Structure 1
Amino acid sequence: MLAAVLRKSEAAMHTGLRSLRSLSSLANNGSCQILKSPPLVSLDLLEDWTCRVDQDRQETASIPNPSNQLTAALIDGKAISEEIRSKIANEVNRMKSSIGKTPGLAVILVGDRRDCQIYVRNKILACEEAGIRSEVVDLRESCSEDDILSALSNFNENPEIHGVLVQLPLPERLDEGKILSMLPLEKDVDGFHPLNMGNLALKGREPLFIPCTPKGCIELLLRSGVEIYGKRAVVIGRSNIVGLPTSLLLQRYHATVTVIHALTKNPEMLAREADIVVAAVGMPNLVRKSWLKPGAVVIDVGTYPIEDSSSDQGYRLLGDVCYGEAINVASAITPVPGGVGPMTVAMLLLNTLESAKRFYDFS
C-alpha cells in the first residue's frame, strides 16, 4: 500500500508541475474581476536599499500622535463576503448558461470536532447559495489513513469535482502531510499542497490557489483601505493552515512581518510594535489591550466555541482578541463571528470557481 501511495504521490507531483507550467498564466485570472487583490507576481519589486535613510526620516516625521481613547471601526466580513459571493453566483450562472457546467466541491470531514462541523456546514450552505454542487464524506474519528486516501482518490478522478479539501486539523495520529500531498494541485482549493505553499513563499512565483483564510484576511485589509506596504505586521500563531501562509502573504505585500508563537519571548512587547495584528491561535481573549499599539488594525482569526444556553445553537464563539478592550485601542477590528469566517468561505467558493474555469477553459 505504501509503495502505491508513493507512486501516486510522485505522479501527482509531476502532474502538478505540468499544471503549474501550463496554468500559471491563468492564476487569479477570474479573481481580479471579483477581488481587490491582484496576482502576486504583479507586486514583486526589486530590493533597493539606497534610499532607506531619507525615507526613514520622512516616515518618522509623519507618524501621527493617536488619541488615548480610540473607537475601532468595524471590519464587516459578513457584508464584504456577501458582495463577493453575489459576484461568484453570477459567474456560476453565466458558466451554466454558456456551457451547461457548474463548479463542484468535495469535502472530507474526519471526526466530530464542533468547530470543524460548523465550518463544513457553512461551506456546504454557501455552495448551495452560489449554485456550486457539493459532496461531503463524513468519516469517523477512528478511521484509517487508507479510508481518507480512498475518498480522496474517488474525488481526484471525478471530472465533475473541481475542488477537494480535507477539513483540518486532522486527528494527531494521522499523517496530515502525506494525506495533503495526495491532493492534485489543480484541485487544491484550500491552497495547502506543498507546491502551492512553496510558490506562495517564492518571489516571482504564483500559486494556483492561495489558502482561503489568509486570502480573506488580505482582502479585508484592502477593502478597508488599510495600507500594507512597508507596515509592521505581527502574526500570532504559526499553523500551516493560517499563521504560516498569512505571514508569507503579508511579506508578498511588502509588510515587515514578525511571527509570534507559544515559545516566543515577550510576545506582548512584540505585538505592541505592530501596525497590523493578525491573531490566529484559537485561544479566547489571548490578546488584551496591552498587546496593541494605539491605532493598530486587528484581524481576529480565532474562533473558540463556549457553551451558551441562551444561544439557539447552544454555544457562542469567542475570538483570540478581547474585543471589548481592543475596540478602545485599535483603529479597526474584525468581530467574531462575522469577520474572517465568512471571508474564508467566500474565498473557498472563489477558488473552486477558478478551478472549474481552468478545467473547462471558460473565461
Structure 2
Amino acid sequence: MTQARLMDGTALARRIVEDTARRAADLTARTGTTPCLATVLVGADPASVTYVRMKQNRSRKAGIASRHVELPAATTTEDLVGTLEELSADPAVHGILLQHPMGAHIDERAAFEAIAPEKDVDGVTFASFATMSFGLPGFVSCTPGGIMRLLDAYDVDPSGKRAVVVGRSAILGKPAGMLLLARDATVTYCHSRTTDLSAVVREADIVVAAVGRPQLIKGQDIKPGAVVIDAGYNPGNIGDVDFDSAVERASLITPVPGGVGPMTIATLLEQTVDAATRQLGA
C-alpha cells in the first residue's frame, strides 16, 4: 500500500489567516475599531508562555490587536473570575482566550464560565458547546473546528462514515465528536476505560486521536485507507499516533507538528474577527 498523503495544516492555516487579515483590515477601515483578542495566563508555565506569545504574534500579523493579562500562579479562582468578567464587560475587547492548564487550585469550569459567550472565541463555555451541538450560531472549540476545516479541505465527507474519537475532554474530544455527528458520521468515543481500544479504532474510517498519550495509536490499529487526525501534542513534538507505522496504512494523516496545531490558531483568529464583526454590528 502506498503511504498516506499528509494533511498540511500549515498551508491551510496560512490561507485562513490571510483571509482573516483582509477581513480585519476591512472591519477596521469601516468602523475605526481594530478587533482585539485578550489573552489571560495564570502562572509562567514555559509551554503556555510560548503558546500565548505565538498567538499574540499571529494576531498582530492578522491585523488583530492583542491585550495580554498575566496573573501570578497563586491567583485564586475568585480573582481570575473577576479579571475575566472585567474583560467581558470591556467593549474594546472582542475575544477572550484563557490559557490552560491553570493550576489544580483553580476551578477551571468556573473560570471558563466567566467569559461572556459573545467573546468566547476559544469555544470553551457551556453556551458555546450548546450552540455548536445544536448547530446554532456561536463559536466552536478551536481545535475541533480546525479539524473539520482540514477534513473539508481534503474532501473527506464524514457522512455515513464510522468515526472514532479517542479522548473525551470538554474542549477537544467531546466537541470533535459532536461536530462529526452533525455531519452525519457515526461516532464512537473511546477513553481510558474502553475495553480493547485497538479493536474499536480498527473499525474507524476516521480516527481523531485526542487523548494526550504519546504514540498510543499504532499503525496496526489503523484500518487500511482510514483518515487519521492526530490532535495530540506531547513533549518532543510527538503526537498520540505512531506516525511512522500509521502512515503506511492510512490514506490521509496529519503530521505533528504542522497538522492540527496551526489550524487551532487560525480558527481562533478567524473567530475573533467574527466576534468583533458581530459586536460592532458590522
TM-score range, shorter chain: over 0.9
Report what 1:91 is aligned to: 23
Verify: 1:102 aligned to 2:44, yes or no: no
Distance (Å, rounded) in 2 between the aligned partners of 1:279 and 1:112: 28
Verify: 1:333 aligned to 2:253, yes or no: yes
Of 263-272 and 135-144, more deviation after overlay is shown by: 135-144
Structure 1 contact 106–135 (Cα < 8 Å) conserved: yes
Distance (Å, rounded) in 2 between the aligned partners of 1:186 and 1:274: 35
Superposed, which structure 2 residues align to 1:288-303 within 5 Å?
288-303=218-233
Q: By how many angstroms is 1:207 displaced? A: 4.2
Distance (Å, rounded) in 2 between the aligned partners of 1:360 and 1:213: 26
Distance (Å, rounded) in 1 between the aligned partners of 2:73 and 2:230: 29
TM-score, normalized by length of structure 1? 0.76
Q: By how many angstroms is 1:199 displaced? A: 2.3
- Residue number among 229, 252, 268 corresponding to 1:348 in the alignment: 268
Structure 1 contact 197–207 (Cα < 8 Å) conserved: no
Deviations 1:163-199 (A, max 9, x none): 0121123222211111111111111111121122122
Query: In structure 2, the residue corresponding to 1:305 is in which secondary structure?
Result: coil
- Residue number among 117, 120, 129 corresponding to 1:185 in the alignment: 117
Q: Which runs of 5+ in 1 are unaligned?
A: 1-68, 307-316
Verify: 1:145 aligned to 2:71, yes or no: no
Report what 2:48 is aligned to: 116
Distance (Å, rounded) in 2 between the aligned partners of 1:157 and 1:134: 17
What is the number of residues matched between the two proteins? 282
Q: How has the CA–CA distance of structure 1 residues 303 and 114 changed in structure 2, closer, same or farther, with 3 Å as cutoff?
A: farther
Superposed, which structure 2 residues align to 1:3-14 within 5 Å?
none
Report what 2:188 is aligned to: 258
Distance (Å, rounded) in 2 between the aligned partners of 1:330 and 1:115: 30
Query: In structure 2, the residue corresponding to 1:134 is in which secondary structure?
Result: strand
Q: By how many angstroms is 1:141 displaced? A: 2.3
Structure 2 contact 39–52 (Cα < 8 Å) conserved: yes
Superposed, which structure 2 residues align to 1:20-35 within 5 Å?
none
Distance (Å, rounded) in 1 between the aligned partners of 2:110 and 2:154: 38
Verify: 1:318 aligned to 2:238, yes or no: yes
Superposed, which structure 2 residues align to 1:198-277 within 5 Å?
198-202=130-134, 205-277=135-207
Of 138-147 and 328-337, more deviation after overlay is shown by: 138-147
Q: Percent identity over the alignment?
A: 41
Of 87-96 and 108-117, more deviation after overlay is shown by: 108-117
Query: In structure 2, the residue corresponding to 1:304 is in which secondary structure?
Result: coil
Structure 1 or 2, whichever has the larger Rg, is 1
Structure 1 contact 195–207 (Cα < 8 Å) conserved: no
Report what 2:277 is aligned to: 357
Structure 2 contact 36–66 (Cα < 8 Å) conserved: yes
Report what 1:305 is aligned to: 235
Q: By how many angstroms is 1:233 displaced? A: 0.4
Distance (Å, rounded) in 2 between the aligned partners of 1:140 and 1:72: 45
- Residue number among 93, 96, 99 corresponding to 1:161 in the alignment: 93
Distance (Å, rounded) in 2 between the aligned partners of 1:183 and 1:143: 17
Deviations 1:214-235 (A, max 9, x none): 0000000000011210100011
Root mean square deviation of aligned Cα? 1.2
Structure 2 contact 173–210 (Cα < 8 Å) conserved: yes
Query: In structure 2, the residue corresponding to 1:218 is in which secondary structure?
Result: helix
TM-score, normalized by length of structure 2? 0.97
Structure 2 contact 37–94 (Cα < 8 Å) conserved: yes
Deviations 1:205-256 (A, max 9, x none): 4141111110000000000011210100011110011001101111001100
Distance (Å, rounded) in 1 between the aligned partners of 2:209 and 2:46: 21
Question: Could you list the runs of 4 or more consecutive aligned residues of structure 1 that deviate by over 4 angstroms after TM superposition?
Answer: none
What is the one-letter code of the residue matched to 1:176?
E
Q: By how many angstroms is 1:96 displaced? A: 1.6
Distance (Å, rounded) in 1 between the aligned partners of 2:190 and 2:42: 29
Distance (Å, rounded) in 1 between the aligned partners of 2:50 and 2:261: 11
Q: By how many angstroms is 1:114 displaced? A: 3.4
Q: By how many angstroms is 1:98 displaced? A: 1.8
What is the one-letter code of the residue matched to 1:74?
L
Q: Which runs of 5+ in 2 are unaligned?
A: none
What is the one-letter code of the residue matched to 2:158?
I
Of 77-86 and 120-129, more deviation after overlay is shown by: 120-129
